[in-house]
Amino acid sequence: MAATRKTTGTRAASAAAKADAHREAPGPTEIRSQLVRTELLKAGVWIGLALLIGLCIVLIQPILLIFAGIVMASMLDGGTRLLGRVLPIARGWRLLIVCLSLVVFLVWTVMFAGSQIADQAATLQTVVMGQVERIAAWASDHGMGNFQLDTKTITDNLAGTFGRVTAAVGTVLGGLTSLIMILVLGIFIAIEPRLYERGVAWMLPMKARENFYITTARMGFTLRRLMAGRLLGMLVEGIGTWLACMAVGIPMAALMGLLTGLLAFIPNIGAIVSGVLLVLVGFSAGTDTGLWAIAIYFIVQTVDGYLIVPMVAKKTVDLAPALVLGAQILFGALLGLMGLFLADPIIAMIKVALEREAERNADGVKTKTAAGT
């Protein structure tokens, strides 16, 4: 009797085991081939990469704003570190002094120089278009063709040249909003940069974190020095152009100094644009004034190109002028004005990352060679 019950229980357990095995058996969609699994994994990686690239294209505007905020944070952090050399107080207080100095400068510019610059900006377009029309008439008289130029045509051509991906920045409201977002984001990052660095590193594998910290430290060093050189160049070119224009009687001296200083942030292209504007305004007041404008342009650019830029390049990445100009043309056409302004920092960061990767590869080759011997 007991043996019969035991046999019955064994049969029931065996049937249950077979049923469980049947339920856990591979289904029709189960991929048993390792080759197929590998190929599907590769395809998934490529599809994910394509989706990531598409997402970056769609979100290029906020991505550029975030990078601009990082650039702003590097400038604030650089000012804080520089102030720490002469003022041994806590970092938070030094950063507060730098931010307040920036706010005071902007308020002073708006309150005391804003009305004068606004009046000059209102007449700048008329003066420049008048000079352009004179050049077009001279070219037509000498058989170089018939040029029909107006403000709308020139504006449309510039908009097409700089691209339309970031067209929202071109409006006054969009520009002010973007500037405020960049300033706020830069201040938040500058308050505690290590916090965001550790947050990004936390999402990386453990073995990649050390290299990440080394790379970001070098990027931060390079970006701070690069922006310090840009700010120094902007200050020298802006103030120098303003004082020189006042001395020789070039109209709209304050506006010319402001535009020259702002455009000095963009290597190569900024100097060309500011030089063209300065010469056009100079010749609007007479031939002698125009010749003085040409002389001022070359003197200011010589001081910046042969004194400031080499001094800064020794402490930062030495970027080839053709490389920077090519990046500005590419980023300006694809990403608009924001891409044009940020081309130099982007190329500098890419170069630092590539140099670090080359260093790691060289260390790996040396380690394998040493192990082999």
**Could you tell me which of 334, 99, 333, 68 has the C-alpha nearest to residue 179?**
68
pLDDT, position 41: 80
CA distance 369 to 348: 32
CA–CA separation, 46 and 69 (whole Å): 31
Closest CA to 117 of 223, 209, 251: 251
3-state SS string for 148-203: CCCHHHHHHHHHHHCCCCCHHHHCHHHHHHHHHHHHHHHHHHHHCHHHHHHHHHHC
Closest CA to 267 of 307, 323, 221: 323
What is the rounded distance in angstroms from the CA atom of residue 182 to the CA atom of residue 261?
20
What is residue 281's three-state secondary structure? Answer: helix
| Orientation angle between helical segments 287-303 and 269-284, nearest 10 degrees | 160
Report the alpha-carbon distance of residue 67 to residue 72 in Å, rounded: 9
Q: Determine contact, residues 225/344, Cβ cutoff 8 Å.
A: no
- State residue 300 phi and psi, 5-degree precision: -65, -45
Long-range contacts of 135-144 (CB under 8 A, 24+ apart): none
Q: Tokens for 80?
A: 């804080």
Q: Are 219 and 201 in contact (CB under 8 A)?
A: no
For residue 354, give the amino acid letter.
L
Which amino acid belongs to residue 11? R
Domain boundaries, the chain: 60-358
- Number of C-beta neighbours around residue 219 at 10 A: 20
3-state secondary structure of 40: helix
Please identify which residue in the block is written with the tokens 């004005």.
337
C-alpha 189/C-alpha 78 separation (Å) is: 13
* Other residues' Cβ atoms within 10 Å of the Cβ of residue 277: 22
Write out the DSSP string of 66-121: HHHHHHHHHHHHHHHHHHHTT--S-HHHHHHHHHHHHHHHHHHIIIIIHHHHHHHH
For the chain, residues with pLDDT lower than 50 are: 2-3, 6, 22, 164-170
Q: Quick one: pLDDT at residue 235? A: 86
User: CA-CA distance, 328 to 350, in Å (whole number)?
Assistant: 14
DSSP one-letter code for 308: I
Q: Measure the N-to-C terminal CA separation of the chain; round to a whole number of Å.
A: 77
